[in-house]
Structure 1
Amino acid sequence: MFACAAMLVKLVSSTLPTAEIVLARCAISLAALTPLLAREGGLRALRTREPFWHAVRTFSGFGGMITAFYGYATLPLAEVTALGFTMPMFLTMLSIPILGEKVGIRRASAIVVGFLGVLLILRPFSNAIPLLPALVVVFGAVCWAMAMIAIRRMGELGESNVAIVAWFSIGGTVLAGVLTIPVWVTPTLAETAALIGVGLASTVAQLLMTDAYRRGEPTIVAPFEYTSILWTTLIGITLFGETPSPTMAAGVLVLVASGLYILHREVIRRREAGGAGR
């Protein structure tokens, strides 16, 4: 579903501004959440004691989304997807100063290896892909990592999932709406259908992924999430003529292996911490 959303974003990005596409995604997600909010008590479900962390999650999540959509518009789909896989590395790095976590030599080594994979993908001295858009996408991965930290922190503080998702949808809609005002382009009927598809596909994918992580072990679910690189590669080849180079493929393999190992070590660390607490 994420690959379908990426495909639709790329299709409409040649005629519609990125901010407008993000606005459609956030607004449709907010509309889809309305029945759930009503079931959870309406406006009472939005009550929160953590406005700071909601703000962090909203701004960082919005930054991650708009940079990813910008990447889909300017870079091959597979490379944007691959660079998004740097998020676990930045999450581990940011967890040290913000959450006070300790990172051992194994996870630190995996981060270093992961950045070697990033260099293989970017090939900064070969002009194989535009470097600035690629760095923007990497910055977006930093934003996503910060959003994940905010979500984790709010979960620890007892904030409800409904409030977390709803406030992000509200904030994202407002931010995207403000950015869209000066660049608004009235979409055609076909573009409107594509924008609705972006919103629905992204929302369904997010709900399915969240439910999968809630029900299953992260080490089992994550490898399936990484298969998105296969779908975006196939879409890029068949629809947009984007053929990945062998160097890029090697970088993706290194980056995926690094991310999976970091996740593996994180699961072990949490189990050990849980065992020590009993």
Structure 2
Amino acid sequence: METPAIAAPAHIVASAARRRAILCVLGASACFAVAAAFVKAVAGAFPTFEIVAFRSGLATLATLPLLWRIGGLRALRTRRPWSHVWRMIWGFTGMATSFYGYATLPLATNTALGFAMPLVLTVLSVPLLGERVGWRRYTAVLVGLVGVLVVVRPWGGAADALPLVPAAVVLFGVVAWALAMISIRKMGEAGESNVVIVLWFSIGSTVMAAVLTVPVWVTPDPLQLAALCAVGVISALAQMLMTEGYRAGETTLVAPFEYGAIIYTTTLGLVIWGEVPDGWSLLGIAIIIGSGLYIWRREAVLGVRRS
């Protein structure tokens, strides 16, 4: 007779799932950082839209098996086409401006400015989603915006402040990402599945990038082509790891580990390009991260109270 398998205790299974989730999110953050480094490496030779086209195109290829698994092209049917259009426009804008930022700003600085997105999302959720935001979160937003100013330092001299145009473009992209998140939240509340939202964005951003790339196309050599493909492949891997991390663990557990990207991009920027954040940049980054973590914590607490 076969010996029946003995199930592991529930707390051991839960602990293993949490460790898996954390490792997936840390791995995703590392992959995003490596992809950003590839973007920075090729940015001087290619227009931003061409880099976005490779990233989006390869990500779309990675999602095609998922599309066929859920029913093929019929799965893309939606009753909210204009919601998808706006999500694609804002998401594409956020991606393109982020890539532009990696080309023109230090890796760690661009990553830190991107983490200001939860601050903008908190503000926009009031008029666009009808949410109520208390004084604690408003205070955290104001503190976080102070951190953004410390990083950018528009009052500094040319040698001290960040280039204002690239910084402004990246911050505009942060607003665009927040609007994309609001679009996603609205579609989710209306019953649109996450798979359909992801697929429409992946396909739509590929088409938009391809169209915008045609007039500025630069033919890559084999090594450059490998680097451009690496952006797409590594980004797709990062997205899969991030999705698995949030699937396997509670959002309240795994979300803070996304900030590992700051460590990774700081290290890559230092080792490859000799980018050393000064004291003001480090202070601003710490303020942005601290504010973001506080807002995340408040959302978690309020979510528990609502449930």
- For the pair 1:64 / 2:94, whether they are aligned, the reply is yes
Mind listing any 5+ residue stretches in structure 2 that lack a counterpart?
Answer: 1-30
Query: Of 67, 85, 88, which residue of structure 2 is paired with 1:37?
Result: 67
Counting matched residue pairs gives 274
Is it true that 1:165 corresponds to 2:218 in the alignment?
no
**2:244 counterpart (187, 198, 211):** 211
Task: Give distance in 1, aligned partners of 2:90 and 2:124.
Answer: 13
- 1:227 alignment partner, SS class: helix
- Report the TM-score when normalising by structure 1: 0.96
- State the match for 2:173 in structure 1: 140
Structure 1 residue 130, shift from structure 2 partner: 0.4
Give yes or no for the alignment of 1:180 onto 2:213. yes
Deviation digits for residues 83-140 of structure 1 (CA, Å, limit 9, x no counterpart): 0011001111111111100100000000000011111101112133201101111111
Preserved contact between residue 219 and residue 260 of structure 1 (Cα < 8 Å): no
Deviations 1:200-221 (A, max 9, x none): 1111111221222233222321
Gaps of 5+ in 1: none
Give the whole-Å Cα distance in 1 for the aligned partners of 2:175 and 2:64.
30
2:148 is the alignment partner of 1:118: yes
Letter in 1 for 2:128: I
Matched, 1:87 2:117: yes
- One-letter identity of the residue aligned with 2:237: V
The alignment's C-alpha RMSD in Å is 1.0
2:35 alignment partner in structure 1: 5
Match of 2:275 in 1: 242
Cα contact 1:95–1:149 (8 A) shared by 2: yes
| Matched AA of 1:108 | Y
1:40-70: CA deviations, max 9, x gaps? 1100111111112211210000000000000
**Structure 2 Cα separation of the partners of residues 115 and 140 of structure 1:** 15
Q: Distance in 1 between matches of 2:140 and 2:100?
A: 28
**Distance apart, 1:270 and its partner CA:** 2.0
Task: Choose which of 286, 289, 292 in structure 2 pairs with 1:259.
Answer: 292
2:253 is the counterpart of 1:220:
yes
Match of 1:198, as an amino acid?
Answer: V
Q: Name the SS of the counterpart of 1:159 in structure 2.
A: coil
Q: Which amino acid aligns with 1:7?
A: A
Q: Secondary structure at the match of 2:277?
A: coil
